[in-house]
A and B are shown apart, each in its own frame.
Chain A
Amino acid sequence: MTVKTIPAVTSSAERSAIKKLAQAIWRTRWMYLLMAPTLIYFLIFKYGPLWNAQIAFKDFKPLLGVMGSPWVGFKHFESFIHSYYFGELLTNTIFFSLAKLLLGMPIAVICAIALHETWLVRFRTFVQTTIYLPHFLSWVVMFGVLLVLLSPGNGLLNEIIEKLGGKPIPFMTSPKYFRWVVVLSDIWKETGWSTILYLAALLGINPDLYEAAAVDGASPLQRIRYISLPGIVPVIVLVTLLRMGHILEAGFNQIFVLYSVPVYSVGDILDTWVYRQGLLHFEFSLATAVGFFKGAIGLVLILVANRIARRVAERSLW
């Protein structure tokens, strides 16, 4: 129902437009009724929190409620930005996001190309099925798996280190190693799943190109270099942009499960800090301000990322 041109509207034309709209709404009244529960749901559970977010600009006192608490402007934002943990949290958050992206993506691309190249059809299906699986597991289960691998007592890795004459390393609680436990365990869990997108792009490449390359006597590596890789560049660009848009999402569930007091300095991210500050130290307003800050930056980043994606990769996220 879009009005294409706006001539000098006469009042009668206006009236008939309103009438038309009213008719259209009446015609689709059952549809609105059908959607009503979900729309009410959105109002309460998605816009309710947005309403509550005003306490970022207030000094929230539970007894006074969201409405009754006094306004304080940007006080909490300022105190957060000037605090010493601001730099630390931002560094950790961005480190995790970037490391997962920069290390994880090449591995996923290589796996996708290998899956695409192999002649062993059954083996390929089996590998695919297996490496997708960890994506569906909870981080709690992953924590259990990591304990079995990394615990200083009888973790597999530490047993190997001891056999080679080394000393066991407390990977999960040592500030020196914790970051890599986070990054590598995420790559272990998600690489398989992220090959799906690249595989789909590889399957979308025109087979004539491969045939022509075969006729020209191209080696497999040349084929990958000049056909496969260029074919998935748009997807790589798109995924990178999307991930940059979500750069402040460093994996709350993962870090919440894996971290502990000794590694706070290298493991704490914005989300985990918001949780502790807000719900363990009851600094509701400050924590909300940090959440709001993160949400606002995230919104800007994702809008920019989408605009660039539209221009560069001629695709968009929505």
Chain B
Amino acid sequence: MLRMRTRGGLAFQIGIAAFLLVALLIVLIPFWRVIVTAFVPLDVYTHEGVPFFLSPAKWSIEAFKQLMTHSQFPRALWNSIVITIMGVAISMTLTIPLAYGLSTRDLPGRKLIMGLILFTYLFSPGLIPVYLLITGMKLTNNYLAIILPPAVSVYNTLVMTSFFEELPVELKEAARLDGANELQVLWHVIIPLSKPILLTIGLFYAVYFWNQFFTPILYLNKNELLPLPVLLRNILISSSLNEYVEYNAFSTSAVESLKAAGVLITMIPMLLVYPWIQRYFTKGTLVGGVKE
């Protein structure tokens, strides 16, 4: 980032590179350990535990097979996908019009609406009042219970609003003069121009819903409804995995391998979308609503 190369720089540069390398290893080694644990074959594990390096020829995918052939894990994976897609759809449908409205400077009552929304961001009475609302609406064992309360993030709305505010007003005016109503302006003018921000916010909602585990524990009490993180948590805290895999004396992988494989399966979808998110946030789209 610095083009200037000052004197006495080389030793300093080596120091900086070494520091960054250490930082990198501190992040990577734990992941490496999880990966090796998931792939270590049972016979190696029983003899020497988890080695730091494992020759690639010995890697075993038994743990993954065992998890994915039992009914619980694939279903939880599917549930997580359903929750994430439903959640993003509902969140975006509710967030975009609000952000669009708030970005219209001459909207009567704009400040009032902004104030009312900001207040909910600044003051929250906590968990119990939401719980009473959701159970009062009989949403237990319904995915809406875990999607609706966090569906609109005030922060995301404000970031989106400030993006919309930067779009040229003339385009909207021109569309309105052509007789387009607000929905048409939003759909045909605003949305096509706002792809980067919509994608970014959408992905942030997706990450949020994918990672959710507390509200599912709270509101879903049927095993077949549980999303992946909840199942993973149950697996991680249980000492015998009988409930989640065909785990018995003839099992072909260690409990630790099964747990590590569960961690990896939960992470993988995140790793797949990560390059996408990363592309946008490094451009600075999200830093305090900084516009591109």
CB atoms of A30 and B126 under 8 A apart: no
| A220 and B12 alpha carbons, distance in the complex (Å) | 7
A140 with B37, Cβ < 8 A, contacts A34-B186, A55-B129, A202-B1 known: no
| Distance in Å: Cβ of A85 to nearest Cβ of chain B | 16
> How many residues on the B side are at the interface (Cβ–Cβ under 8 A)?
96
Stretch from A8-16, A86-94, A288-296 contacting the other chain: A288-296
Q: Are the CB atoms of B33 and A144 closer together than 8 Å?
A: no
Q: Is the CB of B211 within 8 A of A138?
A: yes
The smallest beta-carbon distance between A80 and chain B, in angstroms, is 13
Inter-chain contact A145/B263, CB cutoff 8 Å: yes
Q: Does A48 make an interface contact (CB < 8 A)?
A: yes
The residues of B that contact A214 with a CB separation of less than 8 Å are: 4-6
Is residue A71 within 8 Å, beta carbon to beta carbon, of the partner chain? no
Contact with A along B275-292 (1 / 0, CB 8 A): 001100110100110100
A95-103, A120-128, A175-183 - interface stretch:
A120-128
Size category of the A interface is 35 or more
- List, in ascending order, chain A residues with CB within 8 A of B101's CB: 31-32, 34-35
Q: Of all chain B residues, which has the CB nearest A284?
A: B128
Chain B, 32-52, CB within 8 A of any chain A CB? 33-34, 37, 49-50
Q: Interface SS of chain B: helix, strand, loop or mixed? A: helix
Question: Which chain B positions have C-beta within 8 A of A46?
Answer: 117, 120
Say yes or no: B8 contacts A124, CB within 8 Å: no
Q: In the complex, what residues of B have CB within 8 A of residue A34's CB?
A: 97, 100-101, 182-183, 186
B13 adjacent to chain A (CB < 8 Å): yes
| A145 with B30: CB separation less than 8 A | yes
B residues near A192, Cβ cutoff 8 Å = 27
Contact, CB under 8 Å: B20 / A114: yes
CB <8 Å contact, B13 and A119 = yes
Can you give 25 A-B contacts (C-beta < 8 A)?
A28-B108, A30-B183, A31-B100, A35-B101, A37-B94, A41-B152, A48-B129, A50-B123, A52-B129, A116-B1, A118-B20, A119-B13, A127-B20, A131-B27, A136-B207, A136-B211, A141-B266, A144-B232, A148-B30, A148-B263, A156-B50, A221-B12, A278-B127, A279-B131, A296-B123
